[in-house]
Amino acid sequence: MKATVHVSQLPDNPYILLTPGPLSTSKKVKAAMLRDWCTWDQDYNQLVQSIRSRLVHMASSDPEAYTTVLMQGSGTFCVEAVIGSVIPRNGKILIMTNGAYGKRIAQMAEVLGIYAIVLDAGETSPVSVKQLDEILKVDTSITHVAVVHVETTTGMINPVAEVAQVSKKYGKTVIVDAMSSFGGVPLDVAELGIDYLISSANKCIQGVPGFGFIIARREALHSCKGIARSLSLDLYDQWETMEQGNGKWRYTSPTHTVRAFDQALTELDDEGGVTQRFNRFTLNQRTLVEGMEKLGFKTLLSTDLQSPIITSFLYPDSPVFSFDEFYARIKQEGFVIYPGKITAAATFRIGNIGDVHLADIQRLLQGVEKQLFWKTTKNN
């Protein structure tokens, strides 16, 4: 006789992940993975179809004009699936970068042999809409424009609405990497004219790693048949199979992750939707920054450039500060933070997305205050 495992019986995590993903998930999301599913079973495929529909309605005020494609792998797999599947052999993409993830798109284009122009704003400035306009005005051969919405390299939020508006003025296809923003920052792909929006299960929707998804404008996607430069990452073929197979994936799907994501979507609805989750993330981030500033830390970015997803803090001005030691001490307090990722300054990052609430941020700040070892002559 099989024993039933209840949610209350699941062990607590030894620490909270204050990272941009994977992130801390609820016990119900974890518990959803305790059941096995068959990829051919109708119940499972109906679940996939439900997820696809819910994502479209979350993303677009015109859901009939859009569709969802689920893709195995990390968010990067999904970005590469788009870059490699929607740009024709004679196409040309302009990639706006101001961090590691914009640069990763440029790497994809280079590896795939796609003609690309990279418009790099550096690491601490938003992408330049003015420069975009100037380039598109002159170079009519550009067919696609790609931008990262929230660049978690620093925590910067980029002006996606303005990028899309200028791109559409010149008739370009718009690709948005919304990996760390979709589900946590309100955005309407139909209103902005975004053709492809890419995100992942283990970000703001608070699922677990295993797959990502693309919200695609149907008219744009229909023109992509036969373009893909990869078999596994063929976006059109994946979509066509899901459409014709009523939720069937081409190759083995991450069934447990999909089921967890379905539960995560339900929890997002229960919280009040994207707007309420945005409000929680925003309160978390503001509380974090105010508390860290009181303890003597400074943020890398100014408030007007900062997203509510993750925050970069400068190292304290102390010769004895060690991030590795700080990290270990904060982990002992029950939190895992993130190292920095830029070359312009020594930083570390603290995220506040996932199943993280105000009380957790307040407890973190208490832990940080206890661990200001470089401010004392004797370590705690």
Q: Helices in the chain by DSSP H: which ranges?
A: 27-31, 42-59, 75-86, 100-112, 129-138, 160-169, 189-192, 218-222, 235-244, 255-271, 274-294, 323-332, 358-370
Residue pointed to by tokens 């990390």? 74
Alpha-carbon distances, residue 81 vs 4, 67, 116 (angstroms): 40, 15, 16
Same fold, 28-269 and 274-375: no
Name the amino acid, one letter, at 85.
S
The residue to which tokens 């380039």 are assigned: 135
Instruction: Check: CB of residue 90 under 8 Å from CB of residue 100.
Output: no
Residue 374 pLDDT: 76
Give the model's pLDDT for residue 237.
98
CB contact burial 301-325 (16+ within 10 A = b; e otherwise): beeebbbbbbbbbebbeeeeeeeee
CB of 299 within 8 A of CB of 311? yes
The pLDDT tens digits along the chain (380 residues) read 444 556 655 567 789 999 988 999 999 999 999 999 998 889 999 999 999 999 999 999 999 999 999 999 999 999 999 999 999 999 999 999 999 999 999 999 999 999 999 999 999 999 999 999 999 999 999 999 999 999 999 999 999 999 999 999 999 999 999 999 999 999 999 999 999 999 999 999 999 999 999 999 999 999 999 999 999 999 999 999 999 999 999 999 999 999 999 999 999 999 999 999 999 999 999 999 999 999 999 999 999 999 999 999 999 998 889 999 999 999 999 999 999 988 889 999 999 999 999 999 999 999 999 998 877 644 44
- CATH architecture entry for 274-375: Alpha-Beta Complex (3.90)
Task: Determine contact, residues 191/340, Cβ cutoff 8 Å.
Answer: no
- b/e sequence 51-67, b meaning 16+ C-beta within 10 Å: bbebbbebbbeebeebb
28-269, CATH topology level: Aspartate Aminotransferase; domain 2 (3.40.640)
Q: Which residue ranges make up each domain of the chain?
A: 28-269, 274-375
Residue 5: predicted pLDDT: 54
